[in-house]
């Protein structure tokens, strides 16, 4: 007879989560770093009671906003290279839906997170309950169905025993490098509290190790043949290099064969910025060093990248007509994109096998030397953009220079939206793998501060520096208070250009009037003058407004000694961005307009569109 234990569904769930382990550096650790929770109707009585039972093995953390706590959970998974992750639970209705945007963020970025939103009563007796939407024609619909398209696995638990196969499936998805993404177990509130005789074996300790898929023989042979025939090979390193912790194998391959490397937003820090073969950022926000190689490359080895438009310059970047793209990716969907030669494998395993097969082969030295020269030229341009200044309104690049000088490359730098991603991708000199944390798959405003908190939980000994614009800050800043409460220090640099600077620039570039982006161009009775330092201080942070780049550097140096979250505010220029580097990006310009500026922009747009290649 199977031995059983009588538990509520929620108790079974939390007990199960607390028994899942992984091994990091030979040490067994819980795979779940904890559970973020905002309680309410639909989770306080069920999941809330169950989390209390396991609070010593599976800590619960309280936040101020469900989207933000989900950001923290997701950032934790990313900072752990997807080897460990967190869960997040909410009440039904608004609490649950507040996590949907974060679910999409994790879905796009292929990051593991377990969502446990409360759901309506499975028995429907008290319907409609508080916070329940009513569908006139579908009795099974609930607002939590919104999680379906943004979850890699979605299940609604309407009977207590359903949690048994659901947890199995959840763990498979969370730990599978190819399928990895958000899992949503939507927990009907009555079912959370229902008891069932669960088999004791469900709660046995399990140790999950990452699956490292090795390449198929034929795919490997085709990739090796393509690379051996290359005159101008180039590697694009994406986030998959970091998740696979393949930096060592990447360095070995490219050093052996003299192949230059460029990095996507997700893949930046795959090699340190000062690695001679690292051409750094590629694409729309790329360096001149990387982009001129991408234009000419005849074989592009794309490793662990989704090849999104910022990487490919909306498919106008690669100009060598006879080029071959090799897609080394653990996920077949990505490996075969744009008719690439697929090489389905874990990045580390795939790179190792390519190294072995290419032993003794070298790219033509003229190509490698040309790359090194291009890097030197780029470094001079970047140094100019980031140099110190006395300007009253410095550029984002000049602020980045100050942060880099004050903090070095040893910190973990985090950003997500606004003008900063482009500038940081080009200009930040990253150190160790994972030290550059960008959320630029979904580019969610409001990821920054909560994301920083998640990174700090994953790397408590690291200085975590968050760079954020005034727009993103105003959208979601509440977890500053949580960082103070948990004693998890962040250094937040807030660039106040009084509006949505990058969108204003995009508006101008597409012929638009300055309209509704900068505060001065928005309908107003009173011009807002937000005192960000006072605001951050009210949340418990150490906060200061600095008047210059020099003051910022001094304040950052001082902040290193603080053990409390520190917010440094600086006014910046909304109109300037770094001219050097970069590439065209496809943003559709209106075909007809009464504005001559729009018509002129449309003409340029139509010319640029001709650079795009289709069918590859």
Ligand X SMILES: Cc1ncc(C[n+]2csc(CCOP(=O)(O)OP(=O)(O)O)c2C)c(N)n1
Least distance (Å) from ligand X to the CB of residue 393? 12
Beta carbons of 454 and 76 less than 8 angstroms apart: yes
433 binds Mg ion (CB under 5 A): no
Instruction: Give bridge partners of residue 114 from the DSSP assignment.
Output: 87, 183
Which positions lie near ligand X, rule CB under 6 A?
417-420, 443-446, 469-472, 497, 500-503
User: By CB under 5 A, is residue 469 in contact with Mg ion?
Assistant: yes
As a whole number of angstroms, the distance between CA 600 and CA 613 comes to 23
DSSP classification of residue 364: -
CB of 491 to Mg ion, least distance (A): 19
| Smallest distance from ligand X to CB 470, Å | 4
In contact, 343 and 300? CB cutoff 8 Å = no
Contact between 470 and Mg ion (CB under 5 A)?
yes
The smaller minimum CB distance to ligand X, of residues 318 and 473, is found at 473
Coil vs helix vs strand at 28: strand
Q: How many CA atoms, within 13 angstroms, populate the side-chain half-sphere of residue 149?
A: 3
> Which option in ligand X, Mg ion, none does residue 419 bind, with CB closer than 5 to 8 A by kind?
ligand X
- One DSSP character per residue, 590-611 reads PSS-S-HHHHHHHHHHHHHHTT
Query: Toward Mg ion, which CB reaches closer, 240 or 422?
Result: 422
Residue 76: contacted member of ligand X, Mg ion, none (CB under 5 to 8 Å, by partner type): none
Buried b (16+ CB within 10 A) or exposed e, 1-13: eeeeeebbbbbbb
**Residue 444 interface partner, choices Mg ion, ligand X, none, CB cut-off 5-8 Å depending on type:** ligand X
Residues with Cβ within 8 Å of residue 496, at least 6 apart in sequence: 469, 470, 530, 532, 569, 570, 571, 572
Residue among 266 and 501 whose Cβ is closer to ligand X: 501
Cβ proximity to Mg ion, 314 vs 472, nearer residue: 472
Which x/- pattern over 475-504 shows residues binding Mg ion (rule: CB under 5 A)?
A: ----------------------x---x---
Of ligand X, Mg ion, none, which one does residue 331 interact with (CB within 5 to 8 Å by kind)? none
Which partner in Mg ion, ligand X, none is near 565 (CB below 5 to 8 A by kind)?
none
Length of the chain: 616
Indicate the residue among 500 and 605 with the shorter CB distance to ligand X.
Answer: 500
Distance in angstroms (rounded) separating the CA atoms of residues 198 and 589: 59
Shortest Cβ 516–Mg ion spacing (Å): 13
Of residues 480 and 484, the one with the C-beta less far from Mg ion:
480
CB of 496 to ligand X, least distance (A): 8
Question: Which one, of 584, 507, 505, 504, lies nearest residue 286 by Cα?
Answer: 584
Q: How far separated are the first and last CA of the chain, in Å rounded?
A: 59
Binding partner of residue 566 among ligand X, Mg ion, none, CB cut-off 5 to 8 Å per kind: none
User: Between 121 and 440, whose beta carbon lies closer to ligand X?
Assistant: 440
For residue 445, the partner it binds in Mg ion, ligand X, none, with Cβ less than 5 to 8 A by kind, is: ligand X
- Residue where the block lists tokens 């290359």: 230
Least separation in angstroms between CB 453 and ligand X: 18
- Residue number with CB closer to Mg ion (225 or 392): 392
Q: Residue 291 binds which entry of ligand X, Mg ion, none, with Cβ cut-offs from 5 to 8 Å by kind?
A: none
471 belongs to the binding site for Mg ion (CB under 5 A): yes
| Token pair for 235 | 């590697």
The values of phi and psi at residue 549, to 5°, are: -60, -40
Tokens representing 59 are 């800590």
Nearer to Mg ion, 309 or 571 (CB): 571
The window from 101-109, 140-148, 252-260, 465-473 that contacts Mg ion (CB under 5 A) reads 465-473
- Which CB atom, from 93 or from 418, has the smaller least distance to ligand X? 418
Residue indicated by tokens 């140099």: 387
By CB under 5 A, which span of 119-127, 390-398, 469-477, 606-614 interacts with Mg ion?
469-477
Question: Which of 90, 82, 81 is closest to 113 using CA atoms?
Answer: 82
Shortest distance, position 328 Cβ to ligand X, whole Å: 29
Q: Is 394 in the site for Mg ion (CB under 5 A)?
A: no
Q: Could you tell me the CA-to-CA distances from 572 to 78, 203, 390, 399, 559 in Å, in that order?
A: 30, 54, 12, 8, 20
State the residue for tokens 């002129």: 600
Strand boundaries in 32-174, DSSP class E: 32-37, 60-62, 85-90, 113-119, 153-157
Instruction: Give the nearest distance from C-beta 517 to Mg ion in angstroms.
Output: 9
CA dihedral sign, ordered 90, 536, 420, 408: negative
Question: Which residue is at the shortest CB distance from Mg ion?
Answer: 469
The residues binding Mg ion (CB under 5 A) are 469-471, 497, 501
């Amino acid at each position: 007879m199977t031995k059983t234990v009588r538990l509520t569904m929620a108790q079974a769930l939390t007990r199960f989560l607390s028994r899942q382990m992984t091994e990091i550096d030979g040490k067994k650790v819980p795979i779940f770093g904890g559970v973020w929770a905002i309680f309410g109707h639909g989770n306080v009585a069920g999941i809330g009671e169950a989390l209390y039972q396991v609070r010593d093995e599976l800590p619960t953390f309280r936040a101020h906003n469900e989207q933000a706590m989900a950001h923290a959970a997701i950032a934790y998974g990313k900072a752990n290279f997807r080897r460990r992750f967190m869960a997040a639970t909410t009440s039904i209705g608004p609490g649950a839906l507040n996590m949907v945007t974060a679910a999409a963020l994790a879905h796009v970025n292929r990051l593991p997170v377990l969502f446990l939103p409360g759901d309506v009563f499975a028995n429907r007796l008290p319907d409609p309950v508080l916070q329940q939407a009513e569908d006139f024609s579908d009795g099974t619909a609930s607002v939590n169905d919104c999680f379906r398209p943004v979850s890699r696995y979605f299940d609604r638990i309407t009977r207590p025993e359903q949690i048994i196969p659901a947890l199995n499936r959840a763990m498979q998805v969370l730990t599978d490098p190819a399928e990895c993404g958000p899992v949503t177990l939507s927990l009907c509130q009555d079912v959370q509290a229902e008891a069932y005789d669960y088999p004791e074996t469900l709660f046995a300790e399990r140790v999950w190790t990452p699956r490292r898929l090795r390449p198929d023989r034929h795919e490997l042979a085709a990739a090796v043949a393509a690379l051996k025939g290359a005159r101008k090979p180039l590697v694009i390193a994406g986030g998959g290099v970091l998740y696979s912790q393949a930096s060592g194998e990447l360095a070995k391959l490219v050093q052996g064969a003299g192949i230059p490397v460029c990095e996507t937003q997700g893949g930046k820090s795959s090699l340190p910025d000062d690695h001679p073969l690292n051409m750094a950022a590629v694409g729309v926000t790329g360096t001149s060093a990387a982009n001129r190689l991408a234009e000419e490359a005849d074989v592009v080895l794309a490793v662990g990248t989704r090849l999104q438009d910022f990487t490919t310059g909306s498919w106008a970047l690669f100009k060598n007509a006879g080029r071959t793209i090799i897609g080394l990716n653990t996920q077949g969907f990505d490996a075969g994109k744009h008719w690439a030669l697929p090489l389905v494998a874990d990045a580390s395993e795939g790179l190792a096998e390519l190294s072995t097969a290419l032993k003794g082969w070298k790219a033509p030295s003229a190509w490698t030397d040309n790359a090194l020269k291009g890097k030197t030229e780029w470094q001079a341009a970047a140094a100019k953009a980031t140099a110190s200044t006395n300007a009253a309104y410095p550029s984002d690049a000049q602020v980045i220079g100050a942060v880099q000088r004050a903090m070095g490359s040893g910190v973990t730098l985090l950003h997500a939206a606004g003008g900063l991603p482009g500038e940081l991708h080009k200009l930040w000199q990253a150190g160790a793998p994972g030290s550059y944390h960008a959320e630029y798959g979904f580019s969610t405003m409001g990821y920054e501060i909560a994301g920083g908190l998640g990174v700090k939980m994953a790397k408590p000994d690291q200085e975590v520096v968050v760079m954020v614009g005034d727009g993103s800050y105003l959208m979601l800043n509440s977890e500053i208070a949580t960082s103070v409460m948990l004693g998890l220090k962040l250094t937040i640099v807030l660039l106040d250009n009084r509006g949505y600077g990058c969108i204003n620039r995009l508006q101008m570039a597409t012929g638009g009037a300055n309209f509704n982006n900068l505060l001065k161009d928005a309908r107003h009775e009173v011009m807002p003058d937000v005192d960000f330092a006072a605001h951050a201080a009210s949340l418990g942070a150490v906060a200061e407004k600095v008047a210059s780049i020099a003051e910022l550097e001094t304040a950052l140096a001082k902040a290193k000694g603080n053990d409390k979250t520190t917010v440094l505010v600086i006014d910046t220029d909304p109109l300037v961005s770094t001219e050097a580097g970069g590439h065209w990006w496809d943003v559709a310009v209106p075909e007809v307009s009464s504005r001559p500026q729009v018509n002129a922009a449309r003409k340029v747009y139509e010319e640029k569109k001709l650079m795009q290649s289709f069918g590859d």
